[in-house]
Amino acid sequence: MKIFLSALEGGEVEYLLDQFIAEGRKIPFGLVSYYYIQKSKKAYSNFKKCLQICDYVLVDSGAHSFQEGARVPWKEYTENYAKFIKENDHPKILGFFEMDVDAVIGYEKVLELRKILENVSDKIIPVWHKNRGVSEFKKMCQTAKSEIVAVTGFRNEDISDNQYAAFLKYAWKCGKKIHCLGMTRKKVLDKVPFDLVDSSSWKMAARYGQVKQWSNRKHSLVNVPNTKGKFATKQIFRTNLIAYIELVKYYNVKWQKINHDLHFRFGVRNIHRLIKLMKERFKTWEMENSKKSLRVEF
Burial 161-197 (b: 16+ CB within 10 A, else e): ebbbbbbbebbeeeebbbbbbbbbbeebbebbbbbbb
Cα atoms in the Cβ-side hemisphere of radius 13 Å centred on 21: 12
Taking Cα atoms as reference points, which of 108, 110, 92 lies closest to residue 100?
110
The per-residue pLDDT for 154 is 82
The per-residue pLDDT for 227 is 67
Residues 30-39: pLDDT tens digits? 999 999 999 9
Lowest-pLDDT range of 116-130, 142-156, 195-209, 267-281 = 267-281
Residues 169-193: pLDDT tens digits? 999 999 999 999 999 899 999 999 9
- Indicate the SS3 state at residue 262: coil
Mean pLDDT for 266-288 is 58
CA distances from 250 to 88, 245, 256, 281 (A): 31, 9, 10, 14
Cα atoms in the Cβ-side hemisphere of radius 13 Å centred on 13: 31
Determine the Cα–Cα distance for residues 248 and 250; give it in Å rounded to an integer. 6
Q: Is 224 exposed, middle or buried (0-12, 13-18, 19+ CB in 10 A)?
A: middle
- The pTM of the full predicted model, rounded to 2 decimals, is 0.88
Quick check: 143 and 115 in contact, CB under 8 A? no
| Predicted confidence (pLDDT) at residue 102 exceeds the cutoff of 70 | yes
CA distances from 284 to 158, 172, 261, 277, 298 (A): 26, 19, 20, 11, 22
Mean pLDDT for 66-78 is 79
In the 8-state DSSP scheme, what is residue 218?
A: T
Lowest-pLDDT range of 1-15, 209-223, 275-289 = 275-289
Which ranges of 101-232 does DSSP label H, i.e. alpha helix?
102-105, 107-118, 134-143, 164-173, 186-189, 201-207
Residues 255-275: pLDDT tens digits? 999 999 999 875 444 555 555
| Predicted confidence (pLDDT) at residue 288 exceeds the cutoff of 80 | no
The per-residue pLDDT for 158 is 87
Q: Taking the CB of residue 157, how many other CB atoms lie within 10 A of it?
A: 13
Determine the Cα–Cα distance for residues 145 and 149; give it in Å rounded to an integer. 9
CA distances from 36 to 32, 114, 200 (A): 8, 20, 15
Which distant-in-sequence residues (6+ apart) come within 8 Å of 56 by Cβ?
2, 4, 28, 29, 30, 92, 93, 94
- Of residues 162 and 66, more confidence is placed in 162
Residues 36-53: pLDDT tens digits? 999 999 999 999 999 999
Taking Cα atoms as reference points, which of 208, 274, 277 lies closest to residue 240?
208
CA distances from 197 to 206, 236, 242, 246 (A): 20, 23, 18, 15
The per-residue pLDDT for 64 is 73
What mean pLDDT value characterizes the chain? Answer: 90
What confidence tier does 56 reach under pLDDT thresholds 50, 70, 90?
very high
The per-residue pLDDT for 292 is 57
| Predicted confidence (pLDDT) at residue 165 exceeds the cutoff of 90 | yes
The per-residue pLDDT for 272 is 52
The per-residue pLDDT for 231 is 78
